[in-house]
Amino acid sequence: MNDLTRAGPAGVRIDELTGPLPPTLEAAVRSLATDAETADGVAPLSEAALLALGDPEARATHLLARESDGLDAEAGRGLVGYAGLDRSDPADPALHLVVAPERRRHGIGSTLLARARTLAQPSVWAHGALPAARTFADARDLAVVRELWVMRRELNSEPPDRPQLPVGVTIRSFVPGRDEQAWLALNARAFADHPEQGRMTLHDLLAREAEPWFDAHGLLLAERDGALLGSVWTKVHPASGFEPELGEVYVLGVDPAAHGRGLGRLLAVLALAQLSDRGLELAILYTGPENTAAVRLYRSLGFDVTGTDVQYR
């Protein structure tokens, strides 16, 4: 781990760390993100950004804004801002940034962004497209380059009809330790044009399998004669201060060679039924508005757009 410290706004210093954060500092970043989520109603850091905090293989640089009181760089106290620079794609680095709610509009976010720009020219993600984030972007001449929709459906409403299983196709649960490589190959084919999902590696998959929320029964595989044709992965989010426990259609992918057989709709309906059977009342998913086929499918299943994440550059 490298530690470079430079001056920030009055009373604040900026620490630059590479490699996995010490546990106390990782916990402080997660606590900061939770505070911001409570204040804003939307999580400021993506799942990938959170996983990168403690991942020794993540190509990430951590910028931490802390009170200038001479504390050890590995201590978690006094953290007032964080920016995670993701360099997993060297041609398209991305930045996730969060500032403590009580310390906003004091130049901390601007300083973190400026510091990140000395290392790369990243895009910047704003989750929830909040007015303050738009003002921040406009003041720095950042333009929208991509949107990610959050879609939601109530699970206690009329369930969609379950399509008939195509001839020769079977559905089973993922088996950890056996299905990883086949699933990754399917995922790469299904998301060949997706800037993040299509790059998922075995390390990325195993990191998610190690997360507390992972349930192999929530990862369904559609196969024929032993060959994977599609999959759907669900995730359950615990209740927060402003949201009940809810389910997510986390990843839904179909091999392009199997398109047109109704597998996408079938897998989505199975995922919704599985979440409903767990007693959940709400389901969410993320998709890009440019993916018109997916948007059409999800709207037909009762999903509506309820939020937007925005990528600026």
Long-range CB contacts for residues 204-213, cutoff 8 Å, separation at least 24: 205/180, 206/180, 207/51, 207/55, 208/51, 209/176, 211/51, 213/237
Q: Which residues are registered as beta bridge partners of 305?
A: 151
Helices 292-300, 263-277: axis angle to 10 degrees equals: 50
Question: What does the mean pLDDT of the chain come to?
Answer: 94
What are the C-alpha distances in Å from 170 to residues 88, 187, 226, 232?
35, 18, 9, 13
The torsion defined by the Cα of 151, 157, 159 and 160, in degrees rounded to 10, comes to -50
Q: Which of 68-72, 150-154, 155-159, 204-208 has the lowest mean pLDDT?
A: 68-72
Rounded to whole angstroms, the Cα distance separating 94 from 82 reads: 14
Tell me, what's the pLDDT at 296? 97
The residues near 24 (Cβ < 8 Å, ≥ 6 apart) are: 74, 75, 76
Q: Do residues 68 and 102 make contact, with C-beta atoms less than 8 angstroms apart? A: no
194's enclosing H/E stretch is: none
Rounded to whole angstroms, the Cα distance separating 190 from 296 reads: 17
Q: How many CB atoms lie within 10 A of CB 16?
A: 20
Q: How many CB atoms lie within 10 A of CB 217?
A: 9
Tens of pLDDT, residue by residue over 40-71, are 999 999 999 999 999 999 999 999 999 986 55
- Whether the per-residue pLDDT at 237 is higher than 70: the answer is yes
Residue with tokens 């976010």: 109
All structural domains of the chain, each given as residue ranges with its CATH number in brackets, are: 3-142 (3.40.630.30), 150-308 (3.40.630.30)
Tens of pLDDT, residue by residue over 162-186, are 999 999 999 999 999 999 999 999 9
Tell me, what's the pLDDT at 240? 85
Tell me, what's the pLDDT at 43? 95
Q: How many CB atoms lie within 10 A of CB 62?
A: 23
Q: Which of 6-15, 183-192, 273-282, 285-294 has the lowest mean pLDDT?
A: 6-15
